[in-house]
Amino acid sequence: MRIWDIESKHLCRKHLLAEHRELHGIWNILTKHKCRCGYSRHPETLRWVGKQKALYKRHCDLIKEFRFRGYKHHTPLNKRFAVGEEVQKVFINTIKEQKSILKNKRCDCLLFTVSNWRCTGRRFTA
Ligand SMILES: [Zn+2]
Ligand SMILES: [Zn+2]
């Protein structure tokens, strides 16, 4: 369960889709007070409490990347709940640590940038 603090363009398909799914889970906990099997006490959830606006912005970033890669998206967030702080300043791992976590996963994270996407075509298109 993790929302990355790395730009979404650097995430591989698997990690981009997983983060998006988890973002919705956290959003539901924060806005609907739905308890999903203890995730409401998860450190990743807790760091977004009172920062729905920042989470909303992250969702916008993810969706921009979805569109760019041609992935489908059918789950808009209700902007009415995008309240609180708009900048996330609490990190569970530093950006540097997050990058090395992703590198160790041996997926395609961090390999591509937007300009590479344009050159190499839609390798990860859904
Ligand atoms: Zn969504
Ligand atoms: Zn990845």
pLDDT at residue 118 is higher than 70: no
Residue 77 has pLDDT above 80, yes or no: yes
Q: How confident is the model at residue 24 (pLDDT cuts 50, 70, 90)?
A: very high
Q: Which ligand is nearest to the CA of 23?
A: 1
Q: H or E stretch including 115?
A: helix 114-120
CATH value at residue 112: 1.10.440
Q: Tell me if 47 is assigned to some domain.
A: yes
Q: Is residue 109 part of a domain?
A: yes
User: What value does the mean pLDDT take over residues 61-82?
Assistant: 95
Is residue 125 situated within a structural domain?
no
The C-alpha torsion from 81 through 83 and 89 to 92, rounded to 10°, is: -30
Q: Is residue 46 part of a domain?
A: yes
Distance CA 104, CA 107 (A): 8
User: Residue 71 belongs to what domain range?
Assistant: 8-119
Protein residues within 5 Å, CB atom, of ion ligand 1: 75
Secondary structure element (H or E) that encloses residue 65, with its range: helix 52-69
Distance 35 CA to ligand 2 centre (A): 28
**Residue 67 host element (H or E):** helix 52-69
On whether residue 1 sits in a domain, the answer given is no
From CA 96, how far away is CA 6, in angstroms rounded?
A: 9
Q: Is residue 126 part of a domain?
A: no
Is 124 within a domain? no
Total domains present in the chain: 1
**81 in a domain, yes or no?**
yes
User: Could you report the per-residue pLDDT of 92-112, keeping only the tens digit for each?
Assistant: 999 999 999 999 998 989 876
